[in-house]
């Protein structure tokens, strides 16, 4: 739910930008996250379900891309990709609010175990996945 208190930031920012509203970044926007595209998640689940490696069964994996992106970079890229559909989106200002209490500054998942045991190699980088997501949002939510 992009409108809930714990909404994922990408759908929340996309919907705000589609409505012509300024996205609000908590803090200075330099906090970072390891965003991953849904097809990477599907790929990981399929590899985990189909593995014949006995060391890989009944274990936990981080499903991620393995790289960090700041919230400032996220919004910059969202505006750039969405402006391909509506040029006015590029000019929407970003608002920086106060830091959220308890928010961790940086999150980066280790995918080494999944690479080793499942031969996981995420197919979509952050930018590739974001472009696909933006296209879907534009076609389905506009």
> Angle at CA 20, nearest 5°, toward 38 and 126?
25
Say yes or no to pLDDT of 80 above 70: yes
Four-CA torsion 57, 62, 65, 66, nearest 10 degrees? -110
- The answer to whether the predicted template modeling score (pTM) of the entire model surpasses 0.85 is yes
Residues 6+ apart with CB under 8 A from 58: none
Lowest mean pLDDT segment, chosen from 40-44, 64-68, 98-102, 115-119: 98-102
Question: For the segment 3-42, what is each residue's pLDDT rounded down to a tens digit?
Answer: 665 568 999 999 999 999 999 999 999 999 999 999 999 9
Say yes or no to pLDDT of 2 above 90: no
């Amino acid at each position: 739910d992009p409108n809930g208190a714990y909404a994922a930031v990408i759908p929340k920012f996309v919907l705000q930008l589609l409505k012509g509203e300024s996205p609000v970044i908590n803090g200075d926007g330099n906090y970072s996250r390891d965003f991953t595209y849904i097809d990477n998640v599907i790929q990981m689940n399929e590899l985990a379900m189909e593995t014949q490696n006995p060391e890989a069964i009944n274990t936990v994996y981080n499903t991620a891309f393995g790289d960090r992106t700041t919230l400032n970079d996220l919004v910059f890229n969202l505006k750039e990709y969405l402006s391909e559909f509506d040029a006015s989106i590029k000019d929407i200002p970003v608002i920086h609010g106060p830091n959220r209490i308890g928010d961790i500054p940086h999150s980066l998942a280790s995918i080494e175990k999944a690479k080793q045991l499942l031969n996981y190699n995420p197919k979509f980088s952050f930018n590739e996945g974001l472009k696909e997501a933006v296209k879907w949002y534009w076609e389905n939510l506009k």
